[in-house]
């Protein structure tokens, strides 16, 4: 049996479950593999996924009807004294469970793990991240829950899910955006790279910028450039902008007087600036020189 690579994080969390799957031997110290009735499994309390793509779910349903479930679901046992038989809470594999129900399966393969709430959320989160099934909002919410509810640090979360600390931090910070923008991300109208630059804008400007990015299809880099251009500027930046406007006005005045393209470059500090004047041939250069020298001689005679 060939197992699909799950990633370092998920393999570590599953432990020896695969051994039980391949041999059919239950290992009560680590995990138990068995067939469980579909009706005995309830949705996971710590499932980070919120949105499920209907087309992809339909594709998975057809695949399960044809091939069955290749990779087992991960569950934990829950107390249900009045139930007929064991009851389970789903930890990982909600798409497979939904598709199995749609395909009419009566039982599905499961790996039963003994997990506390934090471990359950970690495992479900890692499984979805490895499969790249979560959108940026779902990821951010799951990371935030680990911080807020289970008091994990961002470094601890990064180590558990195989991501960098800045990745975790940026995912959580994305939740600061207004709900309409988060809805756009969840629907796939914006990705994290396009949405993250919006955090630097004033709240009243964020939504209109998000809609413009989505409508035009602006890239993440383009969104960053757009956000930078619209961020509130410091007094120094405003003063520099005013100075640039004065130089541009002076250059336009010189262009009208000389009837040629003029550019003025101002250097920072004490470095000298420069003026560039376009000319088109030797005769034109002579004409420009005569205009400049004529103005200079006239000034000297005055």
Determine contact, residues 24/40, Cβ cutoff 8 Å. no
Q: How far are the Cα atoms of 261, 277, 278 from residue 284, in angstroms, in the given order? A: 13, 11, 9
Which whole-number Å values give the CA distances from 130 to 68, 126, 137, 167, in the listed order? 22, 6, 16, 15
Beta bridge partners, 278, equal none
Per the annotation, the verdict on 252 as an active-site residue is no
- C-alpha torsion angle, residues 225, 229, 231, 235 (rounded to 10): 130
CB atoms under 10 Å from CB of 90, counted, come to: 22
Structure tokens at 131: 């499969």
Closest CA to 90 of 108, 75, 72, 71: 75
Residue tagged active-site, from 22, 30, 94, 122: 94
| Pair 70, 64: CB distance under 8 Å | no
Q: Give the residue numbers annotated as catalytic, written as ranges.
A: 94
């Amino acid at each position: 049996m060939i197992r699909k690579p799950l990633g370092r994080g998920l393999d570590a969390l599953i432990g020896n479950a695969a051994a039980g799957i391949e041999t059919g031997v239950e290992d009560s110290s680590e995990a138990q593999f068995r067939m469980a009735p579909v009706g005995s499994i309830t949705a996971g309390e710590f499932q980070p996924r919120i949105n499920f793509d209907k087309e992809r779910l339909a594709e998975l349903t057809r695949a399960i009807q044809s091939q069955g479930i290749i990779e087992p679901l991960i569950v934990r046992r829950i107390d249900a004294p009045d139930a007929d038989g064991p009851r389970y809470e789903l930890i990982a594999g909600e798409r497979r469970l939904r598709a199995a129900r749609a395909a009419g399966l009566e039982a599905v393969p499961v790996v039963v793990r003994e997990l506390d709430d934090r471990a359950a959320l970690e495992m479900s989160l890692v499984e979805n991240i490895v499969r790249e099934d979560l959108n940026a909002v779902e990821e951010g919410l799951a990371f935030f829950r680990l911080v807020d509810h289970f008091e994990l640090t961002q470094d601890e979360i990064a180590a558990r899910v195989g991501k960098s600390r800045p990745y975790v931090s940026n995912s959580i910070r994305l939740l600061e955006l207004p709900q309409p923008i988060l809805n756009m991300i969840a629907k796939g109208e914006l990705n994290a790279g396009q949405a993250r630059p919006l955090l630097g804008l004033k709240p009243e400007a964020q939504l209109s910028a998000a809609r413009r990015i989505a409508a035009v299809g602006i890239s993440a880099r383009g969104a960053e450039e757009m956000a930078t251009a619209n961020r509130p500027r410091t007094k120094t930046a405003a003063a520099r902008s005013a100075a640039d406007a004065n130089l541009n006005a002076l250059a336009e005045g010189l262009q009208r007087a000389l009837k040629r393209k003029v550019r003025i470059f101002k250097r920072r500090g004490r470095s000298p600036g420069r003026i560039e004047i376009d000319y088109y041939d030797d005769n034109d250069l002579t004409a420009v020189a005569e205009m400049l020298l004529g103005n200079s001689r006239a000034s000297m005679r005055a």
